[in-house]
A and B are shown apart, each in its own frame.
Chain A
């Protein structure tokens, strides 16, 4: 069974962490993954940096620019991850924009992911319809789960379609926004979380965007299966390098 599906069956709220590969230093990827697993993180999204990250706020944009300056490439990332399954066993997802994958070659990219032991992909600018028509067969052939996003503006009809096309979990974007941590969630988010919960979807939801502390993590996981932290972790890396990753994670988990 795919590691993501396996993880989703565990009886706990899942904490997923995003980081941009090649940031803060080019060769930090392995260390960060190892530290995250040791700290008890359930899932990791490895960001493949892109020059033009449309859906990202300033923090992740800046980390992508720096990572590219550091020399990160698709090839380089795969090199760094070559033996990752010898040291890390939690589910790993690559999150990236479609163009770099397209240039690498989709089939070649998927094959490489499968060899390394990547479990899923999140590609924000690959729409569901195009995925189903052109790429689903390839993804499935290599055992990769493609994770779709929903937002507060996504219609009920479309959420049902996405649920149908999904594998693993549904990435639930917390509010109409680009990435970046907020201090709290308001009534609108609360209502949205409840509305989605009441839809009783086939696939569990993991909430992302705007989560950066214990309070927002708790609120987001009140109904959902888990939550994803990105920008707040990038800020931690900016300030601390790869030090004290466990204390960052502990502080998110402290209310659980």
Chain B
């Protein structure tokens, strides 16, 4: 049977691997050797599940969106990751990785962040565990996302501005990797998405797979079946989509729909639709699809949503795209903002603009009245209020 899971060498089809400088080899090798053992260990699982339940607030509801379903004449469920502690799915991963870091004997945590959600989720678990936390964030993003910078500081993290290159997420990631090279012994790097060198993409996917694990149980209860007809999730690096797809990857009758940010239009020059604009290459230690110049220089993406403007996608998604296992759609800033407003009016839920991209897929797809459609509502819109205010002149 073909599988869309990672293989033994750390690849999804031709994508993945660990294209890292020798300086990172000992750390990556240690992780590669240990991560499955640690995550599979009963004491890890006990602690992880307990924190997910009591601290994060899991299971998150699978909510039947009545009025939205009526409008689109199909059965729409929202997986409410927006109700997680800190406001998005990101914390599922950071809780898991901090427990892993402790078991590896690490004493210091570093992370990268774009919009600040992963930075906040990392700073949160570091506060919880009493670990020193250093978050790299592009200088430009720090200005754009000032409230999240304040949250991280309040949580005790040091936020270090990235001033190299384009001063955004990809540069923050470079700087976090450089920090790890400079501090190879006691530091663990908590990557926020299913990107980076193997084993990160698989490790983060496994820690996010709780999302699809719960969807299965909850659908069984509500629909007497474990499989929806369609699952829709937004993709920047792709962690929430990886979690929502994970347990369905090899169940081919479930249609997986990945939604990328088209920004001001796919060919406007201001877009983050990697599958449409990218080609094969290497970014942050992983062979995957990325946006780059003809000369192999990585280009700067754009989206109104700070969580989707990554110039690559995780190798799992590159493989889902090239093997056509998942359907990839692109949603513009305007379409996403309208979808965010629509969900707010119909269901009383203000979504993160990232998640609004997934909702906007409803306008591009025609579903059958008895189709079960699950949309992963990855985060809440509190952090985006300023963007909503400006856009809708509130």
Contact = CB atoms under 8 A, between A and B. Distances in A.
Interface of A: 50-58, 61-62, 65, 68, 73-75, 97-104, 124-127, 130, 148-151, 153-155, 158, 173, 176-178
Contacts of A154: 22, 25-26
Contacts of B25: 127, 151, 153-154, 158
B23 interface: yes
Contacts of B26: 153-155
B283 A177 contact: no
B303 to A, nearest CB: 19
B298 A51 contact: yes
Interface stretch (B96-104, B174-182, B350-358): B174-182
Interface string B19-38: 11111011000000000000
B292 interface: yes
A102 B294 CA distance: 11
Nearest to B9: A129
Interface in B232-260: none
A149 B23 contact: yes
A127 B165 contact: no
Interface residues of B, number: 33
B298 A176 contact: no
A65 B300 CA distance: 14
B282 interface: yes
Given A52-B174, A102-B296, 15 more contacts: A50-B296, A52-B171, A54-B284, A55-B21, A57-B178, A65-B165, A73-B295, A99-B281, A100-B297, A103-B294, A104-B296, A149-B23, A155-B26, A176-B182, A178-B178
A50 B297 contact: yes
5 contacts: A51-B297, A99-B283, A102-B282, A173-B23, A177-B182
Contacts of A51: 165, 297-298
A155 B30 CA distance: 12
B297 A127 contact: no
A55 B21 CA distance: 7
Contacts of A177: 23, 181-182
Q: Output the residue of B22, B282, B283, B285 with the most chain A CB within 10 A.
A: B22
Contact of A52 (B170, B182, B280, B295): B170
B315 interface: no
A51 B284 CA distance: 12
A73 B282 CA distance: 17
Interface string B272-284: 0000000011111
B165 A149 contact: no
A98 B19 contact: yes
Contacts of A155: 26
B181 A176 contact: yes
Interface string B130-163: 0000000000000000000000000000000000
Contacts of A58: 164
A125 B23 contact: no
A184 B281 CA distance: 38
B165 A102 contact: no
B265 interface: no
Contacts of A149: 21-23
B387 interface: no
Nearest to A72: B295
B17 A98 contact: no
A130 B184 CA distance: 23
Nearest to A57: B178
Contacts of A68: 297
A97 B19 CA distance: 10
A99 B17 contact: no
B295 to A, nearest CB: 5
B373 interface: no
Given A58-B164, A149-B22, A103 B298 contact: no
Contacts of B181: 54-55, 176-178
B178 A148 contact: no
B178 A54 contact: yes
Nearest to A56: B178
B183 interface: yes
Q: Output the residue of B20, B25, B295, B298 with the most chain A CB within 10 A.
A: B295
B83 interface: no
A103 B281 contact: yes
A200 to B, nearest CB: 21
A68 B166 CA distance: 13
A12 B183 CA distance: 34
Contacts of B123: none
B184 A127 contact: no
B19 A125 contact: yes
Contacts of B165: 51-52, 61, 65
B313 interface: no
